[in-house]
């Protein structure tokens, strides 16, 4: 515990909420503390992710404890992996017998959605939910959107989907994608997703994710106070993680 406090102090993090787990000092800690998938750890190392960044040290154990999270960390600090690593692990550890979409990552732009998809695909390489079924990640592109609508591809095929709000709403409205099995929703660049331009779409998406056990998280470089208010109203005992200074 002392080490953890020293770690927190060294990167000026501020973590508030109830029952906060200790941060990880290395990715290997995940093997001993959580039943972390060896293949996933291997993929991290193969992609030269050897040490967790501060937002990853704090955020990964929280997510693995199935907590709702509001995370604020500077641009370039590794927020993408901070939400992808636990998302993949949580899906691996209970995904064996459930078909269909379980993880949803919402991004305000197509470019960012594409980057998240690429990063997620690297980590999901050769990861299997059981012996026969590889974990499936997709970007909700224009063509996938069309294929889902004309049933050229089953909406049960994917475990994780990365998307912008409008494209997701479009398939959902057309009853081409069922969100009722979604257990984890992540809002990346949440400050944008909850501002005036997007907030209605974001609400729409949240109301379609009707699984009562839905875990929600928000990641952003800045969390304006109105976004924090929304977070508190839609989340269950959220933990707030702030790395560096909160320059609101
Ligand atoms: P943010 O979303 O916080 O702006 P990103 O998730 O885009 O930051 O990460 C910024 C860069 O840091 C990316 O190139 C990513 O691959 C790299 N990165 C993330 N985590 C690590 C890590 N643990 N070790 C080395 N590089 C990392
Ligand atoms: Mg980012």
pLDDT of residue 247: 46
Any atom of ligand 1 within 6 Å of the Cβ of 79: yes
- Answer for the pair 102, 125: CB distance below 8 angstroms, yes or no: no
Q: Output the CA angle 146-189-239, nearest 5 degrees.
A: 120
Which residues make Cβ contacts (< 8 Å) with residue 57, sequence separation at least 6? 7, 11, 23, 24, 25
* C-alpha 83 – ligand 1 centre gap (Å): 11
pLDDT of residue 246: 45
Helix count and strand count (H, E) for the chain = 11, 8
Of all ligands present, the nearest one to the C-alpha of 73 is 1
pLDDT of residue 98: 73
**CA 136/CA 117 separation, integer angstroms:** 11
Q: What ipTM, to 2 d.p.?
A: 0.99
pLDDT of residue 97: 64
- Answer for the pair 72, 223: CB distance below 8 angstroms, yes or no: yes
| Greatest distance between any 2 Cα atoms in the chain | 57
pLDDT of residue 248: 37
Of all ligands present, the nearest one to the C-alpha of 52 is 1
pLDDT of residue 223: 92
* C-alpha 221 – ligand 1 centre gap (Å): 13
Residues in the chain with pLDDT < 70? 95-97, 245-248
pLDDT of residue 94: 81
pLDDT of residue 96: 65
Gap between the terminal Cα atoms of the chain: 30
pLDDT of residue 7: 82
């Amino acid at each position: 515990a002392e080490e953890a406090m020293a770690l927190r102090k060294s990167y000026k993090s501020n973590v508030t909420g109830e029952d906060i787990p200790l941060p990880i000092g290395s990715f290997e800690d995940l093997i001993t503390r959580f039943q972390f998938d060896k293949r996933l750890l291997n993929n991290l190392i193969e992609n030269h992710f050897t040490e967790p960044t501060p937002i990853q040290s704090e955020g990964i154990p929280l997510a693995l404890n199935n907590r709702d999270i509001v995370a604020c960390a500077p641009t370039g600090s590794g927020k993408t992996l901070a939400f992808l690593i636990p998302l993949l692990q949580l899906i691996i550890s209970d995904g064996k017998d459930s078909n269909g979409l379980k993880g949803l990552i919402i991004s305000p732009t197509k470019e960012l959605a594409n980057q998240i998809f690429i990063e997620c695909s690297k980590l999901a390489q050769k990861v299997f939910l059981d012996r026969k079924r590889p974990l499936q990640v997709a970007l909700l592109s224009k063509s996938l959107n069309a294929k889902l609508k004309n049933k050229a591809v089953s909406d049960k095929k994917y475990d994780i989907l990365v998307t912008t709000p409008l494209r997701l709403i479009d398939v959902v409205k057309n009853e081409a994608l069922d969100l009722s099995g979604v257990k984890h929703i992540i809002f990346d660049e949440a400050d944008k997703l909850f501002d005036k331009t997007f907030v209605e779409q974001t609400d729409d998406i949240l109301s379609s994710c009707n699984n009562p056990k839905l875990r929600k998280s928000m990641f952003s470089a800045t969390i304006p106070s109105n976004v924090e208010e929304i977070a508190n109203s839609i989340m269950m005992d959220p933990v707030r993680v702030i790395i560096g200074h909160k320059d609101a």
